[in-house]
Structure 1
């Protein structure tokens, strides 16, 4: 198995530790506003986990509706591209509306059939994200103490 070197040195001192990514991001932004060389910092998330939030039950009707929505956008895009070559404005509008309509119909059909063929193995919709238990702001050894002191001295707080 090939091991690649990390792109960010992991032996950098921690200058601040935060419960949220937004808190770590605000700390780096605060340092940037204070003219600190932020190109010598990094935000490292630790104890990563994948969280899947269930949004609701997925029925064939909802699958068809979601397919219709995405198909309509795709059809509109195709209609816009074809309208570039249309002879007049009237033809361009007809092409865009036709693309939207056909895209919605075929998208709904594919969404319905795709869900029906799944055999009920996944009858819910969800959103996945990777979150960390902690976000550390680290800096190069040469400037780490300055960054830590700047955050303390200037009274920056996560909230």
Structure 2
């Protein structure tokens, strides 16, 4: 007979939308307002509705820029690894850590630049731009556990609550 593992099924409490806002910042301000009113904010969630992915193009990506961006990242990683490895020298850890951090910075920058050049070259011109990806929503709802929803709705409808003029 094989033992069976039983997993407890804990259902999340039912929630209700008590307010909707056009921006995440406005929804965040509403939750902050609830917190300021001593409301138990552990029963609150902010949910984005109508999610869309977007990509903001920040500029043209040339071989030089690809090398520079990756050189910076490589330099930071090289410095960090060099510093950490230098700390293991028990004779003179400070000098060793600084020396290895400087060497790690140089080696990391060179390797990062070379990898950036190679990666950009391998794209074959298909992606000659730099960008930042993200998510956006059409609106943001403040959801509250059903047991606390009336209180939250009352607070957010009162004078001084964000989103009210």
Residue correspondence of structure 1 range 53-132 to structure 2 within 5 A = 53-86=56-89, 87-88=91-92, 89-132=94-137
Q: TM-score, normalised by structure 2?
A: 0.85
Q: TM-score, normalised by structure 1?
A: 0.88
Alignment RMSD: 1.9
Pick which of 88-97 and 77-86 moved more: 88-97
Query: Structure 1 pair 27/58, CA: closer, same or farther in 2 (3 Å)?
Result: same
The equivalent of 2:141 in structure 1 is 136
In structure 2, distance between residues paired with 1:8 and 1:67 = 44
* Superposition deviation, residue 41 in structure 1: 1.7
CA offsets 1:27-52 (integer angstroms, 9 cap, x no match): 01111110112222211110000010
Aligned length, in residue pairs? 153
Query: Structure 1 pair 23/107, CA: closer, same or farther in 2 (3 Å)?
Result: same
5+ long unaligned stretches in structure 2: 1-8
Query: Structure 1 pair 156/91, CA: closer, same or farther in 2 (3 Å)?
Result: same
Residue 15 of structure 2 aligns to a residue whose secondary structure is coil
* 2:53 maps to 1:46: no
The equivalent of 2:29 in structure 1 is 26
Where has structure 1 moved over 6 Å in runs of 4 or more? none
